[in-house]
Amino acid sequence: MRRVMIITASAVCAAGAWWWLKSPRSTPAAVNNSLPGQTNDAGSPLDYLNFDFGALLPKSSAANSAEQKPYIVEGDNMILPKGLKNNNPLNIEAGRDQWQGMTGNDGRFIIFESVFYGIRAAARIMKNYRDKYRLNTVQGIVNRWAPPSDNNPTEKYINFVANRAGVSAQQPLSMADYQNVIAAMIYFENGYNPYDQAEIARATSAGLK
């Protein structure tokens, strides 16, 4: 009896499978995976899995840093620091001295025909500091160049130049140190130094002779 029931059940299952395969069936509706407020129409496709969500955010200055132009770009409409504009990057004040390459002044600071003469004049002043006043350290030079009595940040200036030039503030300077000290002073005076080190070295050497 049990065997007959098993055979009968098998036959029923086989018949049901045959009917399911032969009968017409409608295709089930596609599942809508769109996010709220989005459509998958051909006219407005939006693959949110590949969507650049970062594009929705405002660009920060850090993100744009690669697009920003460095310091001086020829042809740009920008205001240069006075020292660079005057070819006098250490901001030597006008006085009675007539310097090589000097073309005038802006009412306070000397204007030179090229930066070579501006750096040369600065090196010549430092040579005078060394030979006449025995000031041959960053501390001695900067204290006289930008004294605190003129409301200058003298200590900050000294520390900046010493660190950037790779010397201590009280260390006697060698001839090779002067070009690095001048390069650091240019940076402090103007907020940056756009000049090639070889150009600074050449003008410094001319001033120290």
Does 146 have pLDDT greater than 50?
A: yes
- What pLDDT, on the 0 to 100 scale, is given for residue 68? 37
SS3 of residue 177 by DSSP: helix
How far apart are the C-alpha atoms of 165 and 162, rounded to whole Å?
Answer: 5
Predicted TM-score of the model (pTM)? 0.65
Task: Calculate what percentage of the chain has a pLDDT beyond 70.
Answer: 63
Give the model's pLDDT for residue 66.
34
What is the number of helices (H) and of strands (E) in the chain? 7, 2
pLDDT at 128 over 90: yes
* CA pair distance 65, 98, nearest whole angstrom: 43
Tokens matching residue 102:
């000097």
Show the beta-strand stretches assigned E in 65-199.
Answer: 102-105, 110-112
Residues facing 129 on adjacent strands: none
Q: In whole angstroms, what is the distance from residue 142 CA to residue 76 CA?
A: 33
175-190 vs 154-165: helix crossing angle, rounded to 10:
130
Measured at the CA of 122, the angle between CA 115 and CA 140, to 5 degrees, comes to 150
pLDDT bin (cut points 50, 70, 90) of residue 79 is: confident
Using the predicted structure, report yes or no on whether residue 98 has a pLDDT greater than 90: yes
Report whether 103 contacts 115 (CB < 8 A).
no
Report the chain's mean pLDDT, rounded to a whole number.
Answer: 80
